[in-house]
Structure 1
Amino acid sequence: MTDWPRQPDSRTCGPSSVVVAEALLAGGGHGPWPDFERDVLAMHRRLTGVRDRHGRLQLPWPRMLGTPPWAVARELGGRARRYRQAEVLAALPTPVPVFLGTRWLPRHVVLVLDERDGEPLVYNPAVGAVVPLSSSRWKRRWWAVLPR
């Protein structure tokens, strides 16, 4: 069984999902995760700041607002799209970040890894486990970051 890491704090679900996605895409990611907290916090800084071609921070994004989907798309080389389950499942086995929330705004990021009988199975960094997407307390599905 895979030992899935938990996000280090309440604001790092997005970068936690990206760190896991990058590890899986690189052929690893099945634990252990010795530097997970350090890697997630560094990713959070990278995702919430817009940098120019020389690496200088230009327009910081307030980390308290969460991780913007366009930053996740830029980091993973994908594209942010409105959530459509058929598109997300068609993208598998590539990990797909999905933004969940209330009907007013997105609040949480999970990573779709697989499906069972049409139900997306996600790495949920808040609990550090792979669970059905429907088990999330956030019921509105906002965006998915699909591979190009």
Structure 2
Amino acid sequence: MVQSGYQLSTFLYGLGAGRRRLPTLPAPAPFPDDPNGWLLGVQPGEVSIPQGGDTSPHGRTSARQTDPTTCGSVSVLLSQACLDAVHPQDAPDSPATTPLNSGQPATSPSARQRIVTDYGAAQHETKKRTNSRAFAGIWTWPHRWGTPPWGAARELGTTGVRYRHQIVSPASLPHTRKVLTYAVDCAMRGYPVLLYTGSDTRVSVSAAVPRHVVVLHSPPVVADAAPTLFLFDPATGVNHAVNRDELTNRDTPPEFLGGWRHIVWAVFPNQPAQTTQQKVEP
């Protein structure tokens, strides 16, 4: 693929950002006690999630984002729920969501509880947390700009598995392959990975910054089945089956990336996870 145009990630990479050594791969995640806990979906096609206490097909809603700025919030929220499902013993409660002046005891519902109670409200609550103190640890990230990678990594860390963010420079194919190979390996071990996508200055200056977030994942729910790699797109609520070569060779179809051409940032695990029941390796 011929590189043309520039991205913010290319500029930052040229300044030396994003060149940290990749961490050790995490141990394979255990199989969840409840396969339905993998809310990112376990097969290609549209993903739906339960709402309220209704377990019938009519009690489900599409997993798509509720407004143009919550693709990152959906990605974080559903990834948190999946991580809670495979690491229930490690996952602390989420930060208290009851207002301090409400007169009620503070409560800490899990990601899944927040999702099934009110999916739309959960998305915006997640964005508040990822964007709070998201710039230099001090200033709030503007909500109209969506979810910053560093805020997403911090919020995913509340599950007990530390995450970090990493620039992906489309201008360097070796760098892209190295980072995305690591991302695929993490996903195949049962850890959702957030991928930020965008285009370049050929399209517009605004397209050269991260514009959308998708989730790379492989459900660790079927012990005797070959692992399957998916890209979940919050814009459509759909899982696309993808293979390693499509990602690491930068030939991923744009429709898998929310219509954008490049993967420009990644958020993945930053520590080996201690588990006892391992997922079958591909």
TM-score past 0.5 threshold: yes
Which of 184, 189, 211 aligns to 1:89? It is 184
**Contact kept in structure 1, 2:195 and 2:266, CA below 8 Å:** yes
Residue 130 in 1 paired to residue 239 in 2?
yes
Specify the alignment match of 1:68 in structure 2.
148
Which of 20, 35, 39 aligns to 2:122? It is 39
* TM-fit CA distance, 1:34: 4.2
- SS of equivalent to 1:7: coil
- SS of equivalent to 1:106: coil
Residue 144 in 1 paired to residue 273 in 2?
no
Structure 2 CA distance for aligned equivalents of residues 112 and 124 of structure 1 = 9
**Contact kept in structure 1, 2:127 and 2:146, CA below 8 Å:** no
* TM-fit CA distance, 1:39: 0.8
Structure number having the greater strand percentage: 1
Aligned residues: 138
Specify the alignment match of 1:113 in structure 2.
217
Structure 1 gap ranges (5+): 52-56
Structure 2 CA distance for aligned equivalents of residues 120 and 58 of structure 1 = 37
**Contact kept in structure 1, 2:197 and 2:261, CA below 8 Å:** yes
What's the TM-score once normalised by structure 1's chain length? 0.82
Structure 1 CA distance for aligned equivalents of residues 235 and 209 of structure 2 = 18
- SS of equivalent to 1:112: strand
Specify the alignment match of 1:54 in structure 2.
none
Structure 2 gap ranges (5+): 1-42, 50-62, 87-111, 158-162, 169-178, 201-207, 220-227, 243-251, 271-282
Which of 58, 62, 70 aligns to 1:12? It is 70
Structure 1 letter corresponding to 2:164: R
- SS of equivalent to 1:6: coil
